[in-house]
Structure 1
């Protein structure tokens, strides 16, 4: 059985194919042999039963007319035309056994049958090795004495047995050879059937981190492998996208860290180039403090996103009135909005179960982003409303130049900025929208963006969770 559990799929399928073929052929061989033996038995039964009727008729006449020569001659005539036939008749006080010329009656013939019931069809092997099949019948004569008598008729069937032995041997040899042949053919068929897997293997060997764009030929695969190939291609697409994001993230991270580190290094080198006053050192340290704060915020944001990627961002659930939270945030940004001559407003309400600090950070990121890109004299509006499915939708909407459609799918990527679309520069690190997306995902919600007709909308969709809060973040 260890071969059947081999790690080789080809060997395993070949062995199963050979075993099933051998089993099917064995069952067929058993059926053929059984049918053949049954055929010989029925053939002998018909012949012996017919001869029994003939002998019984002769005896009935002979017992009414006791003429021994006529009786004997008639029984001898009954043997004519039948090879290997023996007739035995047992009376009350007499016994007659006659075999065909050249054939010796089997020993203990009468004892074998007289011990059994009338009509018994038996088969046995004599001491000399010959195989016999016979039938017996006990009757009562119609004479005045009414004495019983038993008739035994047997035929020697060694030829049948020899034929069956030869047939059985030939059949098993044929089954063995055929099983081996079908096993070899099965091996060829399995190898041919698994050739598409070899094609997938060769194609997969060419796929590297620099060649993730390569795809497996799903259109040329058999139906059974088409789904597998499509799944592998989808996996490669996801890997390619992930590798691309990782590559972009690494490049952006290096760029973002290079600027403050370079500023700190340059400023330190210039400071150390000559002796300076205490006030100069104090000003330089104050400037360095701003760069360190920027680095600290960036590192903190990256750690936050790392926790979100590993599903460790588990929000604390408490009932929140979004209208109250938004009102406090608008009050915080009111001074900045007044300085930029931007009008802030909010409308609607809705209750959810969520983490107050996380959701405030998500909404704050959207408000900060909107204030950054809204021109003077325009407005920023926050709209809250309940949906038909029970979820709550919060939209941060600002007027001004639209974001080109090509930037929209990547706005939530880390370090991605669409500044060129707004013709502005920003002091942010490009992680705010990525953090917002992670917070919404942790709450089982979603965030989308649209920009058209002079209006840009960031929409947060949150499950209310008031009746059935979800304790786990969205994967």
Structure 2
């Protein structure tokens, strides 16, 4: 299994969390036990000393001191951890054969202290006390000691136990975390298997596993929405490819057919001139289609209008009308411009969009009619609407009119005059300026236009 597996990463996170928890709990427990174990030797030394204190203070002659020595010897034999030393100027009242190290230690401060002996790995916890002279007994230094080896070993055993338990707990947390993660990720695995079945041309399928956890249910909804958009894009691409093939095939067929006819037998120079002139028209049409497709491809890559100029839209429309003067005259159509606004735009691109909008209006306007160009400021944008009288367009076609090669007339009866990219280019130019396009058909008038940001 890959090291990037979610189940493995989750089990690793479970192990890390378990490690932190065990460290905190174990450390707190260890400190508490260490504190308790540290008090035990002192408590036991105090308990032993309290038993002997009254006897040592009460008696001060050699006969009674012999009984105290016997009791000290008995206590030492019963519990090998215990040791007693009595240091005095009179050897008769000493116990435990104190050497120079013990004598030096006994003459130190009174109270609970640690004593390290050369023959022991662990220190003794020693209570140093002093008894004043009584009767025949001189002053004494009384040492009650206990070996702390057992306490240190208990502490060490506890540490080993805590480390072992922590290791086992972390291993269990990792294993259980991996198991839980695998169970929790089963729906995701099932979704993956379902998603593998979705591929062109079978794009109509959707992920329909249920019930699902809320997180995955949200993912499935988003994924299905994406699939729907991909299906629509795939359908448009198929339609686009068919339209491109049709648009390119027609002029190529004309070129090949006219050239083949011209080559079947000898022709006059005038006839060859006519054939070449006709071929040139078809080649110009091919070039126009290719240039428009290249422009749209560049727009699809996210190209933006950069050479912006703050100018009058009405003046730009007037300049465009001068360019279209002969077309308007041949169609016997007039254009009226209403309104004005100053916005930033790239002149070359906007003029191309206006030419396409006006040319589209002229093609669908009867002679003697008037085309209106309305420029209006509407909030944070300016609209340029080109309206022409004509047959009403159904609502099902309006949202698609700015798509490439889309025509209301499915028979392509007008494909020779227009290859179906004009309005698509208008939309691309609007988007390059950060704007949008719109189309409406009402009251016997068809309107196409663009919105530009102020």
TM-score for both structures, normalised by structure 2: 0.84
Instruction: State which drifts further: 316-325 or 113-122.
Output: 113-122
Q: Judge conservation of contact 2:46–2:127 (CA < 8 Å) in 1.
A: no
> For the structure 1 residues 161 and 266, does the alpha-carbon distance in structure 2 shift closer, same or farther, using more than 3 Å as the test?
same
- Name 2:386's counterpart in structure 1: 396
CA distance, structure 2, for counterparts of residue 274 and residue 93 of structure 1: 153
* 116 and 203 in structure 1: CA distance in 2 versus 1, 3 angstrom threshold: farther
Cα contact 1:123–1:133 (8 A) shared by 2: yes
User: Are 2:153 and 1:152 equivalent residues in the alignment?
Assistant: no
Q: Which residue of 2 aligns with 1:241?
A: 232
Pick from 427, 445, 449: which aligns with 1:455? 445
Shift of 1:220: 4.4
- Are 2:45 and 1:48 equivalent residues in the alignment? yes
Could you say if the C-alpha distance between residues 243 and 420 of structure 1 is closer, same or farther in structure 2, counting changes exceeding 3 Å? closer
Alignment of 1:130-209 (within 5 A): 133-139=124-130, 141=132, 148-156=139-147, 159-160=150-151, 163-164=154-155, 166-209=157-200
For the residues of structure 1 that align with 2:448 and 2:41, how far apart are their CA atoms?
Answer: 97
Change (3 A) 1:427 1:35: same
- Return the match for 1:274 from 265, 268, 277: 265
Label 1:367 to 1:154 Cα distance change in 2 as closer, same or farther (>3 A): same
**1:213 aligns to what SS in structure 2?**
coil
- In the alignment, which of 265, 268, 273 is matched to residue 256 of structure 2? 265
Show CA shifts across 1:389-438 (max 9, x none): 2x322111222222111112211111111136999776101000111111
Structure 2 partner of 1:418: 408
1:67 pairs with 2:61 = yes
1:136–1:150 CA contact under 8 A, matched in 2: no
| Cα distance change of structure 1 residues 161 and 290 upon mapping to structure 2, 3 Å threshold | closer
Deviation per CA, 1:371-391, whole angstroms, max 9, x where unpaired?
2123445431111122332x3
Count of matched residue pairs:
451
The separation in 2 between residues aligned to 1:111 and 1:12, in whole angstroms, is 64
Q: Give the distance between the partners of 2:396 and 2:311, measured in 1 at CA.
A: 36
1:286 positional shift: 2.3
**Following the alignment from structure 1 to structure 2, what is the Cα–Cα distance between the partners of residues 75 and 387?**
113
2:114 to 110, 113, 122: 122
Give the match for residue 469 of structure 1: none
Q: Give yes or no for the alignment of 1:323 onto 2:332.
A: no
| 1:354 is aligned to 2:323 | no
Judged with a 3 Å threshold, the aligned counterparts in structure 2 of structure 1 residues 137 and 463 are, in CA distance, closer, same or farther, namely same
Alignment partner of 1:311: what SS?
Answer: coil
Distance 2:218 2:103 in 1: 76
Say if 1:463 and 1:169 are closer, same or farther in 2 by CA, change over 3 A.
closer
Is the Cα contact below 8 Å between 1:137 and 1:152 reproduced in 2? yes
